[in-house]
Amino acid sequence: MSKKLSASYHLFMVAQQTANEDAIDALLQADGDVQIFEANAGGTITGLADNYIPDRARPSQSGVESTFVERGGDWTLPFPMLGGVGANFEPEYAAIFECCGYEKSSPGAGITEFKLATPQGPGTTIYMFRRDIDDNLMRLKVAQTARGNIAIAGTPGTELIATAVGQCITYPENGDALAFFDVATGLPALDKAGVSIAPYLGNLTRFQGPRMLCKNASCVYNSLAYPITDVSFDGALAVALQAVQTASPLACDVNLGRDGVSNANGSIVVTLCDDAAAYEDLKSAYQANEIASLVLVYEDEAGTTKITITLNIQFQATPGESPDGSVLNFDAPFIVVGDFDANPFGDNAVTIRYEAV
């Protein structure tokens, strides 16, 4: 019997769906390969519910009882943007990008690309196993048909971090305390219902992608390269549950879109290491209200693989000023816009490419 749930010890699994099925359970039942998702601290899956209080005439000030209504779930998954693996350098977290508004393609040999796209991608199944402190038992939460939005941020000398936040159609609660994994081998032993799947004949692996530190990053704006410190970008997609009266929970799908005239947005912090050329160029850009390409490049420690993020941006305000020791840095906020001259529908505002250096 579970005694105490750990606030720190847990792990995630992620698998892409083809419909509204539990993709991870399907893999485990078929001895398919599964991975432990390389997540940062702070990941959560939480049930989303209402306590419905009907509008009743009252004979006194006494309250009217409520009815508990399950609506679906919220989830948050922060993770390091590790380098791609395999022949096309595809990242092992591709399923999360695809359920958060990005369309995956392989435009050439040795390249995997993601573009922020209008058609929403397939949903994703997310498992969160939370461990007991007193034993080897775990409790499972399941987020099914998960979709969301991704924000990306990086500072010098640290990993490039993506944080995905979204919703799912299932109502995720901590299940029973069970021995989901074999203590001796670490392999899956039970399915989500607690039924034995031993011996599990698939492979359980961890991510193999190289760590991408923000130390070889460059920023190019209007063909001028200049040093940056912090960078952040938010896809800013609105996430909405679609509810029906014939389901429990009420959610039947999760949809992505834009609220009003909202844009993907972000900011960079420019630091003047040796001359003022970068600041003058930046100042001219926002004063002219021009649109240009912002390119960020990140490499692994071995210099073998890279991530290139290309954004079609428009600076939005006078750069703010913030102290960095005895010098000033300049904070430049921007919105991300479509290049409608190149494509009448846009869909080209953000491109994230994985390839060899």
Average pLDDT, stretch 323-343?
Answer: 85
Q: How many CB atoms lie within 10 A of CB 18?
A: 9
- According to the model, what pLDDT value does residue 238 have? 95
Confidence of residue 201 (pLDDT cuts 50, 70, 90): very high
> How do the domains of the chain map onto residue ranges?
5-48+69-87+122-206, 218-356
User: What integer pLDDT is reported at residue 16 of this predicted model?
Assistant: 97
DSSP 109: T
Mapped onto helix, strand or coil, the DSSP state of residue 246 is coil
Separation CA 296–CA 308 (nearest Å): 6
Task: Tell me the C-alpha distance between 76 and 209, whole Å.
Answer: 21
pLDDT in tens, 130-141: 999 988 899 999
Tens of pLDDT, residue by residue over 300-314, are 989 899 999 999 888
- Whether 23 has a pLDDT exceeding 60, the answer reads yes
Domain 218-356, second-level architecture:
Beta Barrel (2.40)
Q: Is 298 exposed, middle or buried (0-12, 13-18, 19+ CB in 10 A)?
A: buried
Q: Which two tokens stand for residue 132?
A: 């007991």
Give pTM, 2 decimals: 0.93
pLDDT of residue 198: 94
For residue 125, give both structure tokens: 């199944």
Per-residue pLDDT tens digits for 220-244: 777 777 778 889 999 999 999 998 8
Higher pLDDT, 276 or 268: 268
At residue 277, the pLDDT reads: 67
Residues sharing a CB contact under 8 Å with residue 150, sequence separation 6 or more, in sequence order: 96, 97, 100, 101, 102, 162, 163, 164, 234, 235
Token pair recorded at residue 303 = 């210099």
* Mean pLDDT on 77-85: 97
Largest CA distance in the chain: 77
